[in-house]
Amino acid sequence: MTADRPFFITTPIYYVNDLPHLGHAYTTVACDVLARFMRLDGRRVRFLTGTDEHGQKVEQSARAAGISPQELTDRNSAGFREMTRLLDISNDDFIRTTEPRHARAVQAIWQELERRGEIYLGPFAGWYSVRDEAFYDESELVEGKAPTGAEVEWLEEENYFFRLSAWQDRLLAYYDANPDAIAPRSRRNEVISFVRSGLRDLSISRTSFSWGIPVPGNPRHVIYVWLDALTNYITAVGYPDIQNNDFSSLWPTVLHVVGKDILRFHTVYWPAFLMAAGLEPPRRVFAHGWWTVEGQKMSKSLGNFIPPKQLVDTYGLDPVRYFLLRELPFGSDGDFSHRAVVSRLNGDLANDFGNLAQRVLVMINRNCEACVPEPGALGAVDTALLDAARRLLDAVRAHVSEQGFHLALEAIWRVVGEANRYVDEQAPWALSRTDPARMRTVLYTLAETIRLLALLVQPFVPGAAGKLLDQLAVPEATRRFEALAGVPLVPGTRLPKPEGVFPRFVEEPAG
């Protein structure tokens, strides 16, 4: 029913002056879950990620490393591409802002803004933070630094300006007409009050360094890195060729997932640039929270970050993906601690879901000649469990479409809990002697429940879910969500030997 509504999802493009870490992994995994969910739900999906490669910060880092900016970007962009493989990310495209398709799009949007009278040349004097690649007002500085704690420098240059101040009312009208365009709600309120307080024109070119896309007609200037970076989202759907099928079907049906630190760029500058260029602003921007690590602020400059590879090597990929999306409400800040990961891993995954599946599959293997058992007539308790699992899709879809990942997982795990209670109450191991026919009905009900649960957890834990579906001999072709209401497990189907999919995490003995 939703197949005709395409879904375009983007991560921020990551700065290449640093290596991938937990924060990047978080945004990327969240987007991957959305992309996989929508594909399984029958929608046409475009999932974009990539790297942000221009700007003064990159130029400085390259100089410090004694290499050219191009060498630095090639090397570090490859690290982010590697992260997508490591985390089993299903992106359809990986954009680099140093690609020719992107320079073309950025210069085109510049020319369009210029043609429409949205750009003028003037003197700039003000504070700039290279770390944030952002301009700050005197009034925003805290003890001589940016509100983010970054160093600022005084800048006096002739710059091109974008007439942002003229867009205040139209931005407010856009927020007003699109209540879901900024989420969560508290963030939306923040943005609205920022815009209400008044907007100044924005400097959108720089002359003091050269690692960037030249301003058309005045190559002494390079285009401000945020105008360059934000444009990646439309480069990827073919801008400036807006008649093409990608652009016309995918823009503006986009969901930009970003961290809270870059909300203003995505919800003030970006819609203003787009509207000023005669394009539609994005459908929705969701700002997620920040992780601390064992109670400490994680920052690139402090260097206490966790590389994604360390996460996967320590805990395994599915547990990491599950933890990141289950532990925090998406939008809130939280702490990443070893204890918290192990508790989720051993509790929710190994004990609750893993044991359920393992117990049932082993019993089937031993007592039903390793075939899906033939059920008798289902009783009320059996249908109650199956109905609970079948009803999940609607609830999970509603949560996921609002990026409420933890609520979706909570709902799924409530049924895991019900299934575990059902096993305990029905005690199929005892039935094997007293009432084998009833045992087969109970085991069938459980196996079918596990099939439904495994289908639903695919976007979150694709590896484990795939193995569970293999163990239930569910063909690849019937793993989309439409199969939840489709043909149930077929009695007599031969099943492979069961294997655990969520192993317990065992601490290494100290020393």
* Residues 51-90 as x/- pattern, contact with ligand MSP by CB under 6 A: -x--------------------------------------
Q: How far is the CB of 65 from ligand MSP (least distance, A)?
A: 18
- Return the range that interacts with ligand MSP (CB under 6 A); candidates 22-30, 179-187, 235-243, 391-399: 22-30
Indicate the pairing of strand 153-162 with strand 202-203. antiparallel
Q: In angstroms, what is the minimal distance from the CB of 190 to ligand MSP? A: 15
Q: Does position 27 bind ligand MSP by CB under 6 A?
A: yes
The phi, psi pair for 292, rounded to 5°, reads: -100, 165
Q: Which is nearer to ligand MSP, 282 or 498 (CB)?
A: 282
Interface mask (CB under 6 A) for ligand MSP, residues 242-281, using x and -? Answer: ----------------xx-xx-------------------
Stretch that binds ligand MSP, among 171-179, 290-298, 322-330, 458-466 (CB under 6 A): 290-298
Hey, is 120 helix, strand or coil? strand
Q: Are 460 and 437 in contact (CB under 8 A)?
A: no
Q: Helices marked H in 203-291 — which ranges?
A: 225-230, 232-235, 245-250, 263-264, 270-276
Q: How far, in whole angstroms, is CA 464 from its chain's centroid?
A: 19
Could you tell me the smallest distance in angstroms from the CB atom of residue 502 to ligand MSP? 25
Region of 6-14, 101-109, 135-143, 424-432 interacting with ligand MSP (CB under 6 A): 6-14
- Binding to ligand MSP by CB under 6 A, coded x per residue (else -) over 293-322, reads -----x------------------------
Judged by CB under 6 A, does residue 451 bind ligand MSP? no
Tell me how far apart the alpha carbons of residues 92 and 77 are, in angstroms, rounded to a whole number.
16
Per CB under 6 A, 26 contacts ligand MSP = yes
Q: Is 290 in the site for ligand MSP (CB under 6 A)?
A: yes
Q: Tell me how many residues contact ligand MSP (CB under 6 A).
A: 18
Cβ-count burial of 38 within 10 angstroms (0-12 exposed, 13-18 middle, 19+ buried)? buried
Distance CA 199, CA 499 (A): 60
Burial zone of 97 (CB within 10 Å; 0-12 exposed, 13-18 middle, 19+ buried): buried
| CA gap 288, 403 in Å, rounded | 10
For 482, which DSSP code? Answer: G
Q: Classify strands 218-223 and 214-215 as parallel, antiparallel or unpaired.
A: antiparallel
| Interface with ligand MSP, residue 405, by CB under 6 A | no
Which residues between 104 and 143 bind ligand MSP (CB under 6 A)? Answer: none
Q: Which residue is nearest to ligand MSP (CB)?
A: 259
Site string for ligand MSP, 211-240 (x = CB under 6 A): ------------------xx----------
Strand ranges across the sheet with 202-203: 134-136, 119-129, 153-162, 202-203
Nearer to ligand MSP by Cβ, of 168 and 332: the residue is: 332
C-beta closer to ligand MSP: residue 328 or 409:
328
Is residue 15 close enough to count as binding ligand MSP by CB under 6 A?
yes
Quick one: 54 or 440, whose CB is closer to ligand MSP? 54
From 23-31, 102-110, 430-438, 493-501, span contacting ligand MSP (CB under 6 A): 23-31
Q: Provide DSSP, 87-109.
A: TT---SEEEETTSHHHHHHHHHH
Q: Per rule CB under 6 A, is residue 50 in the interface with ligand MSP?
A: no
Q: How far is the CB of 295 from ligand MSP (least distance, A)?
A: 13
What is the amino acid identity at position 382? D
Which tokens belong to 291? 């992780």
Contact stretch for ligand MSP (CB under 6 A) within 18-26, 160-168, 321-329, 461-469:
18-26
Which residues are within 8 A (CB) of 500 and not within 5 positions of it... i.e. 6 or more apart?
Answer: 354, 358
User: Contact with ligand MSP (CB under 6 A): which of 7, 8, 14, 315?
Assistant: 14
Task: For residue 506, give the nearest of 350, 336, 320 by alpha carbon.
Answer: 350
Residues 6+ apart with CB under 8 A from 128: 134, 135, 136, 152, 153, 155
Residues that bind ligand MSP (CB under 6 A): 12-15, 23-24, 26-27, 52, 229-230, 258-259, 261-262, 290-291, 298
